[in-house]
């Protein structure tokens, strides 16, 4: 099974692909979809749609796991991220790929052992599972947190699927 994990965002969306085969896990690819903050929101959504479509064509994932929107203090950001997430979900649905949604606490618990784990704890767990090669490119500006979060979402789906048969389909 090839799982595409998504950490949704408007400016930066992280993605990570993990292949699970008979209990063996392989981090296949990870990276970012970035949009120009100067563009109007609609143009940014077109870019996100195009890039997500490209990921689907390139990797042909069996399933997608996406992080649920966490609403804290900035409603404007939460709304635009939710809109970007909607664009992505539409793209996956159009390609007949099932989408599963996971809360941040569930992802942290499944990957790092605790629902209040920090980003560094998630990255440490990923490196322990996949090896030290799970990191950002050297000497390149990176939002590796977003890529690592996306890998964690994909891993969460694999672990939850083994335990419970998956979470709610979007």
Residues designated catalytic: 7, 67, 146
Phi and psi, residue 88, nearest 5°:
-65, -45
Would you call 42 exposed, middle or buried from its count of C-beta atoms within 10 A (0-12, 13-18, 19+)? exposed
Task: Name beta bridge partners: 98.
Answer: 63
63-67 vs 98-102, strand pairing mode:
parallel
């Amino acid at each position: 099974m090839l799982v595409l994990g998504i950490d949704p965002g408007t400016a930066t969306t992280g993605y990570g692909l993990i292949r699970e085969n008979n209990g063996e896990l392989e981090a296949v690819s990870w990276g970012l979809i970035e949009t120009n903050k100067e563009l109007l929101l609609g143009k940014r959504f077109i870019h996100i749609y195009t890039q997500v479509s490209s990921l689907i064509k390139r990797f042909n994932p069996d399933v997608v796991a996406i992080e649920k929107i966490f609403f804290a203090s900035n409603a404007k950001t939460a709304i635009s991220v939710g809109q970007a997430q909607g664009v992505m979900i539409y793209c996956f649905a159009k390609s007949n790929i099932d989408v599963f949604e996971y809360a941040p606490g569930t992802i942290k618990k499944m990957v790092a052992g605790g629902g209040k784990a920090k980003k560094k704890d998630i990255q440490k767990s990923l490196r322990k599972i996949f090896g030290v090669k799970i990191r950002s490119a050297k000497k390149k500006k990176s939002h590796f947190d977003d890529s690592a979060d996306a890998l964690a979402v994909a891993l969460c789906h694999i672990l939850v699927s083994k335990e419970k048969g998956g979470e709610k389909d979007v």
